[in-house]
Structure 1
């Protein structure tokens, strides 16, 4: 694995290689395909739900007034789209 706190694409491909028996090339291609499908769905405005893991959701945030914490000056925060992740109930129980 890359480092103790990060799971990379290469790590996922390595697991597929060892546990499923796919070649390293095929395993890497499968990971890229899955991530590509997830990205496309999110860009199309769809939520991505992986049962037992969680849901990735795109949310539109409207314009609002924020405050610079150093100066206290109010500044407008422009509308934007944010990606959020909500862990499934089962995942939350495992992480506890």
Structure 2
């Protein structure tokens, strides 16, 4: 499902103009990205959590050139679904 399909579905279910729904969806995504950029986790009860995981510095190898390189420590965004979310997906419910 794409962002435009999500906007159409929400607009059809709620009767709200699709431009207004698009603005809310865009605002939500911007806010999540901004929070994760500041290393603040986002918790949505019943849905899941967008969290920042810290990856430690490590040494990697380039096998073709037979060299080693250091990959610096960095943060990555991760989505962790709630138990309710996992159960719905496992059971195939809507």
Q: Taking structure 1 as reference, are residues 61 and 19 closer, same or farther at Cα in structure 2, changes over 3 Å only? A: same
> Which TM-score applies when normalising by structure 1?
0.78
Q: Taking structure 1 as reference, are residues 91 and 71 closer, same or farther at Cα in structure 2, changes over 3 Å only? A: farther
How many pairs are equivalent?
90
1:70 positional shift:
5.8
1:68 positional shift:
4.0
The alignment partner of 1:14 has SS state of helix
Question: Which structure 1 residue ranges, 5 or more long, are not aligned?
Answer: 1-6
1:87, 1:24 → 2: CA distance?
Answer: 27
Deviating beyond 6 angstroms after TM superposition, the runs of 4 or more aligned structure 1 residues are none
2:43, 2:75 → 1: CA distance?
Answer: 18
Q: Residue 90 in 1 paired to residue 76 in 2?
A: no
2:17, 2:52 → 1: CA distance?
Answer: 34
> Which TM-score applies when normalising by structure 2?
0.79
Over aligned residues, Cα RMSD in angstroms?
A: 1.8
Alignment partner for residue 21 of structure 2, among 27, 37, 62? Answer: 27
Q: Residue 39 in 1 paired to residue 33 in 2?
A: yes
